[in-house]
Structure 1
Amino acid sequence: MKNRTVIWKGFLMLLIGLSFCNTKGVAENEKPNKKSKKSPNIIYIIADDFSYKDLSIYGQKQYKTPNLDQLCKQGIRFSQAYSASGECAPSRSSVMTGLHTGHGRVRVNSSARGQDHLLDSDITVAEVLKSAGYATAFIGKWGIGQPQTEGVPYKQGFDYSFGYYDQVRAHTFFPDYLWENDKKITYPANAGFDMNKRYANNIPNPPKELLNSYDEQGKLILEEVADPQNAVFSEAVFEEKALNFIDKHSEEPFFLYYATQLPHGPVIIDSLGNMKDRVDIPQKQREWAAMVQRIDTFTGTLIETLKKKGIYENTVIVFSSDNGYSMAGYMGRGNAPKWEDDPWLKNKGPFTGGKFSIFEGGCRIPFFMTWEGHIQPSIVQKAVWLPDLFSTFSELANIKEVPKTDGNSLVPFFKNENTDIFNDRALYFSRQRAQAVRKGPWKAFRADSDAPLELYLVEEDTYNENNLAKDYPEVAIEMETIMNESHEPSEWYWNPWETRKDFEEKKKKAKELGQDLPTIRPNNIDRLPWEKKGDS
């Protein structure tokens, strides 16, 4: 991986450098390196912990999502779509680099060093698009590069970046600060927002005194902050920044990576909207639904903005979640296969497991894309995943030479071209010691490198109840071989063949070398719920 990234990083920097040199002495409005408007704009909306059946078009019955439903209907819906991981950071890393968790830089949310990040040598899709003349923007939750590291978005190919750079602070919806490129933007009105209360509330059926308060109009009541009337809900700022970026760059090709922090828990929303009257549903589920509906409403605003600018038909819009099912934002249950469906929203989908697992429930996601006049409405039943987006976006931008990734371009589905490569390719997943492979109709899983392999015909056995490893030994051997060959050793992450003691030694080494990374906690709370005593 190192040689690949170093060579390509140098090549990209050369392209960008030549682009800069070519503009010397040229009138500003000529912009010779800018692509013509034949190159489509690309907007990617990635939702945080969005569950498989959170959209009404996917089967949600308790509320409607008309704008996202319409996009899905008029585009390509991938019915067997996967994230690259069952958790946030590695999934986002795979989107940016096109690499799965056996090859990528960020492999779980935390390494032995802490919340790890992309390096300068990593190649992101933003850098590739920027080298081709695209204006690039990240807005929302980044999670793969803390402030003051080389992994921040403005050092990874984004002309403009705004939001939460670190992973955990994005749990805060009323932050004391956000980042705009390399500048800290403070929100003094939000001072005092109580994240300890929100984490305590992040359980099934919390006591009433821990619930958020809303008035008769469904508006959030925030009595604890310094200035309740001027408190700033971060998602509102993200929406404004996204619209400003489109307005500024509507005359040139742009890439907008809109990484909403919704509906990740602890659940809270500035307004319950039409869910305020749904007293038949518990409050936490109403909040989750309102968060989902806020994404839908803003999607409608985006579409109207693009149409008013006359660029809707030249814009590819992609929507997905970053990982699988999270029950109304409750804390995860690891690789536990028995993670029950939400009794009210019924949004998990027909899968075993949930967030933080590499079972189907942790990695199966809603995923669709549309391009007015270029994509015929269809449902694709072949397995695809988020690492495919690197190659897809590159091909859409007519970029011929791109680094090798673990994905394939989805553009052939647009053009009714040959898609046989998707029939039998291997999709590799890992989380600490656990590994999984999806290949053709099969899904294989093992808890660690010494554990017996489980094998399922996943298209007909989505709950993984009928282990066929003994019935199809040749398939089991093939899957084990893929697992053994797909995982490059990581210096700081927990490799599948390592023990807990090995990982603890890595943590010790990181401290001895001064390479342990600081923990950034939301709104300066003392300790996160999953931290041990003494970790703060």
Structure 2
Amino acid sequence: MSMGTFHKTGRIPNLIRQALASLLILAPALSAAKPPNIIIFLADDLGYGDLGCYGHPIIQTPHLDSLANEGVRLTDCHSAGTVCSPSRAGLLTGRTPYRSGFYSIAGQPRGSHLLKEEITLPTLLKQKGYDTCFVGKWHLGKFTGQPDPGAHGFDHWFATEVNAFDGPESPSKFVRNGDKVGEVSQWYCDAIVKEAIDWMAARPDPEKPFFLLVSYHEPHTPILPPESYSKRYDNPRTDTLESAIDYGQVHRPLGRPIEENKKYYYGTVTQLDDSVGRLLESLEAQGKTEESIVVFTSDNGPETPVTFEESGNQWEDPIRDRCFGTPGPWHGMKRYVLEGGHRVPGIVRWPGEIEAGSISKELVNGTDWLPTFCHAVGVDAPSDRIIDGVNALPALKGREVERPIPACWMYPANYDSRYLPNMAMRDGDQVLIGWFAPKGDKQATSEWIRSTKLERFTLYDLGIDRSQAYELNDKLPDELKRMKSKMNTLWSSIQKEAPDWAN
């Protein structure tokens, strides 16, 4: 029967009638299905190439490798920004971070924070009856005088404002639901995972769905794992293998030997992996594995030990001497808008929905998590503002995603842009890199961000050039013109929303 015959006569074939009847029977069950629990593990400064399942020849990450075998491993996954705070803002709001005022880390410019007017993922999930919990590094503003995690939708929170700069062992600046906790006699990753496990077990109604964001300090500096972890990597085999690892085509410190410090970084990543394993074991013990979405990713690319240019000719900067993260085959590190600065690990497990052991080559950005989870649980994403991210569920299953607003990343505004470009924008495998007109000597950062124009561009094709070493401006002038127009339009849109901070 043709479609024309169907519409003309109104007759319904038996097979279609039976299918419709089945759907009607199933409809109440489908509508009453319990929304999935959602757990996001967010590592800090972990590079794309830092896990065993992403090809690291040394670091042992059995729990995350197992998680990848039980779900999908993303090979084109990105953080929303190239440093800490912008990435966190993009994850929680679904918006390119400069729209919400994160031109660098919180407090730079002075007063910058996640505004109360921003609508966050936990706030939206609470509309669907979710319990919500945040543990770990907040870095979206101060806990006093600015909106804290509780003000942004988290029922329970146990956090530090920034990193464990007093040391990842027994950190002393945790706050729980607004009250100072004091020194915690555990390593940072162990303390936040214990809090998360205890919270899951103590919820008054264990049948309610929950959202849990586990925001690590590790492997951000300072890097100091328990000796049992660093000792695993203090051997000749590690020395031999490390010498062949590429660090984003960024040179290591000149004139200062640091190779003996690599064991601390490798040990910290393994320590982080063990903490993920403990939480997943607790999830299994509570019978929640099959009804939970688990995501593991990172907030940006890996930190690099200080270079001569970065240090302003001051050679001694030991805080970064233990940074041995790698972006794998990609060019750039943390702060770079080149791929290595924001292409990060991405692992997602959702039993029954995502094929175990699958690999997806589709682009997934940090701004996609909000619309993706809104779609998964049946909550509307905000319609009164621009949401840059898209529902990436098809991408998690290896299918192409239509992206009306191009994925983009910005370089933190408080660093010297003479060395690094300021903006990157993707369209398929093509990526355009752009530089802003320089900031005036007496110009406030907000003023500069809201007024500067893109003044030069470089086009690359990642499908044939992972190293971003071959400019295509002369070879593809029409594509360059098209991408420049897109980037200028996108940047103008972002500037119109960019808040004006105190300086």
TM-score category, normalised to shorter length:
0.7 to 0.9
Alpha-carbon distance, 1:239 to partner? 1.6
SS of 1:466's equivalent in the other structure is coil
Pick the aligned partner of 1:240 from 180, 184, 194.
194
Structure 1 CA distance for aligned equivalents of residues 481 and 273 of structure 2: 44
Contact 1:140 1:259 in 2 (8 A): yes
Alpha-carbon distance, 1:104 to partner? 2.7
Aligned match of 1:263: 219
Pick the aligned partner of 2:433 from 439, 445, 449.
445
In the superposition, the TM-score normalised over structure 2's length comes to 0.75
Structure 2 CA distance for aligned equivalents of residues 184 and 312 of structure 1: 33
Aligned match of 1:371: 350
Structure 1 CA distance for aligned equivalents of residues 266 and 42 of structure 2: 17
> Do residues 84 (structure 1) and 62 (structure 2) align?
no
Equivalence map 1:1-150=2 (5 Å): 38-109=34-105, 113-114=109-110, 116-150=112-146
Aligned match of 2:495: 489
Contact 1:60 1:345 in 2 (8 A): no
Aligned residue type for 1:273: Y
Cα pair distance change 1:277/1:124, threshold 3 Å = closer
Structure 1 CA distance for aligned equivalents of residues 360 and 69 of structure 2: 12
Pick the aligned partner of 1:390 from 370, 379, 387.
370
Cα pair distance change 1:490/1:74, threshold 3 Å = same
Equivalence map 1:344-355=2 (5 Å): 347-355=326-334
Aligned match of 2:248: none
Contact 1:278 1:286 in 2 (8 A): yes
Cα pair distance change 1:308/1:181, threshold 3 Å = same
Structure 2 CA distance for aligned equivalents of residues 259 and 332 of structure 1: 31
SS of 1:489's equivalent in the other structure is helix
Structure 2 CA distance for aligned equivalents of residues 379 and 277 of structure 1: 29
Contact 2:175 2:181 in 1 (8 A): yes
Alpha-carbon distance, 1:145 to partner? 1.7
> Do residues 469 (structure 1) and 473 (structure 2) align?
yes
Structure 2 CA distance for aligned equivalents of residues 74 and 320 of structure 1: 16
Cα pair distance change 1:346/1:124, threshold 3 Å = closer
Aligned match of 2:400: 419
> Do residues 429 (structure 1) and 409 (structure 2) align?
yes
* Unmatched segments (≥5 aa) in structure 2: 1-30, 240-258, 311-320, 437-452
Structure 2 CA distance for aligned equivalents of residues 55 and 436 of structure 1: 25
SS of 2:224's equivalent in the other structure is coil
More divergent stretch after superposition (107-116 vs 455-464): 107-116
SS of 2:360's equivalent in the other structure is strand
Contact 1:147 1:166 in 2 (8 A): no
Structure 1 CA distance for aligned equivalents of residues 375 and 220 of structure 2: 31
Structure 1 CA distance for aligned equivalents of residues 288 and 136 of structure 2: 23
Alpha-carbon distance, 1:346 to partner? 7.4
Q: Deviations over 1:93-141 (max 9, x none)?
A: 1001011134233231156542621111110001001121100000000
Aligned residue type for 1:381: K
Contact 2:81 2:410 in 1 (8 A): yes
SS of 2:407's equivalent in the other structure is strand
Contact 1:162 1:181 in 2 (8 A): yes
Pick the aligned partner of 2:458 from 454, 471, 476.
454
Pick the aligned partner of 2:261 from 284, 289, 292.
284
SS of 2:75's equivalent in the other structure is strand
> Do residues 317 (structure 1) and 294 (structure 2) align?
yes
Cα pair distance change 1:240/1:119, threshold 3 Å = same
Structure 1 CA distance for aligned equivalents of residues 372 and 497 of structure 2: 30
Q: Deviations over 1:45-64 (max 9, x none)?
A: 00000011110111111132
Q: Deviations over 1:337-396 (max 9, x none)?
A: xxxxx9996733112221111111111101120112221132111222110000111122
Aligned residue type for 1:285: K
Pick the aligned partner of 1:177 from 173, 176, 181.
173
Cα pair distance change 1:301/1:111, threshold 3 Å = closer
Contact 2:395 2:401 in 1 (8 A): no
Q: Deviations over 1:436-481 (max 9, x none)?
A: 1111110111222454210000122111111001222222222222
SS of 1:384's equivalent in the other structure is coil
Aligned match of 1:216: none
Structure 1 CA distance for aligned equivalents of residues 142 and 308 of structure 2: 23
Aligned residue type for 1:419: E
Structure 1 CA distance for aligned equivalents of residues 164 and 105 of structure 2: 10
Structure 2 CA distance for aligned equivalents of residues 332 and 180 of structure 1: 40
Structure 2 CA distance for aligned equivalents of residues 113 and 490 of structure 1: 18
Equivalence map 1:201-350=2 (5 Å): 231-249=185-203, 250-273=206-229, 275-276=231-232, 278-280=234-236, 281=239, 282-327=259-304, 347-350=326-329
Aligned match of 2:379: 399
Cα pair distance change 1:110/1:310, threshold 3 Å = closer
Identity of matched residues, %: 27
Cα pair distance change 1:278/1:415, threshold 3 Å = closer
Cα pair distance change 1:68/1:96, threshold 3 Å = same
Contact 1:171 1:261 in 2 (8 A): no
Contact 1:44 1:258 in 2 (8 A): yes
Structure 1 CA distance for aligned equivalents of residues 455 and 336 of structure 2: 16
Cα pair distance change 1:420/1:387, threshold 3 Å = closer
Structure 2 CA distance for aligned equivalents of residues 78 and 233 of structure 1: 29
Contact 1:76 1:376 in 2 (8 A): yes
Alpha-carbon distance, 1:77 to partner? 1.6
More divergent stretch after superposition (103-112 vs 245-254): 103-112
Contact 2:265 2:324 in 1 (8 A): no
Aligned residue type for 1:421: E
* Unmatched segments (≥5 aa) in structure 1: 1-34, 191-230, 335-341, 494-505, 511-536
Contact 1:101 1:428 in 2 (8 A): no
> Do residues 162 (structure 1) and 187 (structure 2) align?
no
Structure 2 CA distance for aligned equivalents of residues 44 and 127 of structure 1: 16
Cα pair distance change 1:113/1:346, threshold 3 Å = closer
Aligned residue type for 1:114: R
Aligned match of 1:500: none
Cα pair distance change 1:102/1:160, threshold 3 Å = same
Alpha-carbon distance, 1:321 to partner? 0.7
In the superposition, the TM-score normalised over structure 1's length comes to 0.71
Contact 1:320 1:366 in 2 (8 A): yes
